[in-house]
Structure 1
Amino acid sequence: MSLKQTIEVFELLDDATVSGEKVKAFFEQRGASNVSYTTVEGEKGTTDFVKIVIPGKKGKVYGGKAPTLGVVGRLGGIGARPERIGLVSDADGAVAALATALKLVDMQSKGDVLDGDVIITTHICPNAPTRPHEPVAFMDSPVDILAMNQHEVTEEMEAILSIDTTKGNRVFNHRGIAISPTVKQGYILRISDDLVSLMEMSTGQYAHTFAVTMQDITPYGNGLYHINSILQPAVATSAPVVGVAVTAQTAVPGCATGASHEVDIALAVKFSIEVAKAFGEGKCSFYSEEEFDRIVKLYGDMSHLQTLGKDA
């Protein structure tokens, strides 16, 4: 059960004065020992990047060899004040990532410690700007995508779940969560069977997946259309990245308030927890190393898709 933690984090973030400092204090009060935040200023304001490390009993923090999972809560901002009052739809990624951290902290306090380390990152901005986007308006961010990736994607992450609200479109017409194919070094790979199985078990439904285009896995700033920023972490790492989309049946603006569904966010949290358990135990693969080596041998390196391209 992760709904309790989801609601607690939702209430924590639904605050006009919430900050990285407040988030850090909340988690430390709950028992987290490795929480940090950094305030970064951009052209459109400031935001606080939060990083929470949940050490595993066999993880790298304690000198072990169990693999490390990264969970990134991707968004523009959690609020659009003063234009909009309250938590916006775009905040779902931050809520899900932090609720995942809170659930892991609560589990540890009760004696359930995962094998591998889990690193959770996101950013907190209750007064982010908005920007035009078709078919509905998006949340913008005070800082650019480069700054986000610098603070949210770390070298220690050996695989990444990138959680993002993905409602501002007319192509994902299902309410709940969905996962993307694995993206690695410019390649869109097959959808992981292990992740499909974990999604079906954690949701009790057939797995929902979503399509990814070549444009979506290239960096923001190249003038191409992106469905949203869900796969932007993939441009900053050689680790495999899978998007976890919180979806809706209708097109919902990222800046809309009253549009978040706690039960759907909790599904993303439950799924992330189960992936963290299995990945740390070496029982969940995001991709086939053998097949990836084969495709690179056949068709060459595609990491240029992680750059802004020739014009840059």
Structure 2
Amino acid sequence: MLLKQLMEAFDVLDSSTVTGKDVETYLRGIQPDANIEVYELKGPSGSTDMVKVRIPGSRGKASGGSAPTIGILGRLGGIGARPDVIGFVSDGDGALAAITVAAKLLDMRKKGDVLEGDVFVSTQICPHAPTQPHKPVPFMGSPVEMAQVNREEVSPELDAILSVDTTKGNRVINTRGFAISPTVKGGYILRTSEDLLEKMQITTGRLPYVFPLATQDITPYGNNVFHLNSILQPATATDAPVVGVAVTTETMVPGCATGASHFSDVEEASRFMLEVAKSYGAGDLKFYDEDEYALLQKLYGPMNHLMTLGKTE
């Protein structure tokens, strides 16, 4: 259970003055010598605080081992839309889930439960983000550009990525809880990982939910085509496999809505990502079938052009 960490993290984040340093202080209260990096990232519409947490594994690369590294990226525009809206917005669930997982991993490590592979957790903290028009409901905007966040969070050290994001403003996944995406790698939308589906069944006790992806959803922001949201944007900046973990609802909920975060849903998504991190670092879970991916490339060639802004006049 991650309810304790979830409630503590929410208490820190639900503030008009919260900063990345506040998050760092909370996490260092769990493990004082934790590897935590916090800095301001400036963009076209203001700034946000980047928070990065690295939790070394017993056989991870940080200690000279060979176990794979997983990245857990909390995606969002902002955790608040002040001064227009007072309180923690629905869009902040990605940050809340990521910080919750980081807190739990640090607590586990303090108690002697160390994962085999390294885990990298990152998100941004911005209580004063703008909003922007989007159909069918308004989106949260961001003070920084998506490409900036990708450059900060997506690095060669990551062998696989879980991108967790609120995904409630749509008509294509209509259930309370969370859903996962098919695996995206190198411009390909691959079949959904059987290992991840099984892990989702175990952690939720229910049949898994998978949300659909269109080709345009895995292209970079800025090409003027419709995107479901930013959940698969990390896939435009890495060749590592990326899976979206979408916190969902039955009805359409604006990203800038307050009072719309459901603790049970965020906790389930966080617990799922923790269990995936355990198994992935141990080599017991795959995001995709390597042989099948190689065959696709042999038959149809690379699809990396979908990771770019495309042709320009």
With normalisation by structure 1, the TM-score equals 0.99
The one-letter code matched in structure 2 to 1:118 is: V
How does 1:146-185 map onto structure 2 within 5 Å?
146-185=147-186
Q: Cα offset for 1:26?
A: 1.4
Q: List per-residue Cα deviations over 1:133-181 (Å, max 9, x = no partner).
A: 0010000000001111011212211000000000011221101000000
Q: Aligned pair 1:2/2:2, yes or no? A: yes
On the 8 A contact 2:172/2:212 being kept in 1, the answer is: no
Q: Cα offset for 1:186?
A: 0.2
Aligned sequence identity (%): 57
What is aligned with 1:193? 194
The one-letter code matched in structure 1 to 2:207 is: Y
What is aligned with 1:78? 79
The one-letter code matched in structure 2 to 1:73 is: G
3-state secondary structure, aligned to 1:30? coil
3-state secondary structure, aligned to 1:210? coil
Q: Cα offset for 1:23?
A: 1.0
Structure 1: state its 5+ residue gaps.
none
Partners of 2:179 and 2:187 lie apart in 1 by: 21
What is aligned with 1:14? 14
Q: Cα offset for 1:6?
A: 1.1
The ranges of structure 1 where at least 4 consecutive aligned residues each deviate by more than 4 angstroms after the TM superposition are: none
The one-letter code matched in structure 1 to 2:3 is: L
3-state secondary structure, aligned to 2:85? coil
Partners of 1:218 and 1:192 lie apart in 2 by: 21
3-state secondary structure, aligned to 1:56? coil
Larger deviation, residues 18-27 vs 199-208 = 18-27
3-state secondary structure, aligned to 2:227? coil
Partners of 1:257 and 1:83 lie apart in 2 by: 11
On the 8 A contact 2:100/2:270 being kept in 1, the answer is: yes
How does 1:260-275 map onto structure 2 within 5 Å?
260-275=261-276
Partners of 1:75 and 1:186 lie apart in 2 by: 22
Q: List per-residue Cα deviations over 1:190-248 (Å, max 9, x = no partner).
A: 00000000000001100111100001000000010000000000000000000000000
Q: List per-residue Cα deviations over 1:94-128 (Å, max 9, x = no partner).
A: 00011011111111111111000000011000000
Q: How many residues align?
A: 312
Q: Aligned pair 1:56/2:57, yes or no? A: yes
How does 1:152-301 map onto structure 2 within 5 Å?
152-301=153-302
3-state secondary structure, aligned to 1:243? strand
3-state secondary structure, aligned to 2:206? coil
